[in-house]
Amino acid sequence: MTSASHAGMALSEIELDALLRRLNLANMRRVYRQVVSCAEQEQWSYRDFLALLVAEEVSHRTQTRLQRLTRRARFPYLKTIEDFDFTLQSTLRISLLGSYLGPDFVTEGRSLILHGKTGRGKTHLAIAIGYRAIQNGFETRFVTAAQLIEDLSNAGNKGRLHEVLETYTHPHVLIVDEVGYLSYGPDAANVLYHVVNDRHIRKRPMVFTTNKAFVDWGSVLHDSDLAETILDRVLERGRWITLDGPSGRTKHLKSETSIAPTSTGARISGKPVPEYPEPTTGRVWSDETTPKIYGTGFQPSRPGSDRNPGASPRVVMRTRLRRFLSPSE
C-alpha cells in the first residue's frame, strides 16, 4: 500500500465510528480510542493492536451470549457444579457427572434422571449441568413438570399443541424439574410423551429431577404404559442417579435438634437433683400381677395369708395402706 493511497484512506473519527457500527462491532466502537492511546504510548505493532481489538470483541460477544442464554433458560436461581457439596453424598462423585459437563453431553444426546428426597441437591445439579451447557455454547430451557404439563394441556385444548411444543423441543437441553411433587391432570403422560419422543428422535438431551421411584411414575402420570415408554426413551442414552445423604437445606439444624436428654430430671424450683434421691411412693406390677408398694416398708399379703385368709391382694393392699397412712393407727 503506497503512501498516497494511505493518505486517501484517512478517516475521521465519525466515519470510522459509522463503519464499526455498520459491522455491528459495538464493543470495538466503545474501546478502540483507549486501545489506540495505549498502542501509541507503548509503540505496539499493527498486528498486536489489531489482535487486542479482535480479542476484546470476541470476549464481549461471548459474555453477552452467555448472559442472554442464561436469561432465556429461566433458571429459578443460578448454581454451578463448583457450588455443589459432594461431601454430603455417600456414592455420588463429580467424576460420575463428567460426561454431562462437556460438549459431548449435548452432541451425543445423553439424558439424566436425578432421583432423591427433597433437599438432596437435585435441582442444584440440574441447573449446574444446564449452565455448563450454556457455557459450552448450547441453549438450555428450565421448566417444572407441573408448568410444562399445564402449558401443553392448555395448548392442546386450544388446538395449539404443536405450536407450543416447539418451546420445549427446540432448545438443545431441556430440564424438567420436580416430577412427582404435585398432582397432574389426566393427560399428563400424553403431553409429556410428545416432548420426550420428539427430543429422543432429535437426540436432544433431557434432565429430570424427581422424588419418585422408577415404578411410581405410572401412578404419577396416570398411565403406566406411557410412563414406561417415557422412561425407556430417556434412559436409552441416559442414566438414573440417586442422591442420598442428609438434606442440604436443614443441615444447619442438626446441632440444634440432636441435643441428648439428660439422665436427671428437671426441677421446677431450680434446685439440683440429689445424688442419691430417697424413694418415693409409686405402684409397679410384679410378674404375678401382685401390687407392691415401694418406699412404705411393707408388702401386701397374698390370698390365704395368716392375717386375712381368703382376701384378695387388692383388698389387703388397700386395708394395709389405709392403716399405714392413718396417724391414729
Regarding whether 152 and 88 lie in a shared domain, the answer is: yes
Regarding whether 111 and 235 lie in a shared domain, the answer is: yes
Residue 312: all three cell numbers together: 384378695
In which domain, by residue range, is 113 found?
81-250
Regarding whether 140 and 44 lie in a shared domain, the answer is: no
Regarding whether 293 and 244 lie in a shared domain, the answer is: no
**Residue 95 DSSP one-character state:** G
Q: Give the separation between CA 90 and CA 66, rounded to whole angstroms.
A: 33
Q: Give the separation between CA 47 and CA 42, rounded to whole angstroms.
A: 14
Can you name the residues that pair with 242 across neighbouring β-strands? 115
Rounded average pLDDT over 41-69 = 94
Regarding whether 246 and 139 lie in a shared domain, the answer is: yes
Whether the Cβ atoms of residue 207 and residue 178 lie closer than 8 Å to each other? no
Q: What is the SS3 assignment for 144?
A: strand
Q: Read off the pLDDT of residues 133-151 as tens digits, 9 standing for 90 and up.
A: 999 999 999 999 999 999 9
Whether the Cβ atoms of residue 123 and residue 210 lie closer than 8 Å to each other? no
Q: What is the SS3 assignment for 192?
A: helix
Whether the Cβ atoms of residue 32 and residue 53 lie closer than 8 Å to each other? yes
Strands 140-144 and 111-116 turn out to be unpaired
Look at residue 307 and tell me whether its pLDDT is greater than 70: no
Closest CA to 172 of 197, 208, 136, 145: 136
Q: Give the separation between CA 72 and CA 207, rounded to whole angstroms.
A: 17
Q: Which of 233, 250, 267 is the last residue of a domain?
A: 250
Q: Read off the pLDDT of residues 242-288 as tens digits, 9 standing for 90 and up.
A: 999 888 777 767 655 554 444 444 444 455 555 545 554 444 444 44
Q: Read off the pLDDT of residues 3-39 as tens digits, 9 standing for 90 and up.
A: 444 544 678 889 999 999 999 999 999 999 999 999 9
Residue 6: all three cell numbers together: 494511505
Regarding whether 86 and 214 lie in a shared domain, the answer is: yes
Q: Read off the pLDDT of residues 71-93 as tens digits, 9 standing for 90 and up.
A: 999 999 999 999 999 998 888 99
- Helical axes 188-202 vs 224-236, angle rounded to 10°: 20
Regarding whether 89 and 229 lie in a shared domain, the answer is: yes
**Count of structural domains within the chain:** 3
Regarding whether 102 and 56 lie in a shared domain, the answer is: no
Q: Per the domain annotation, does 76 fall within a domain?
A: no
The residue with greater pLDDT, 312 or 27, is: 27
Whether the Cβ atoms of residue 251 and residue 213 lie closer than 8 Å to each other? no
**Residue 204 DSSP one-character state:** -
Regarding whether 210 and 157 lie in a shared domain, the answer is: yes
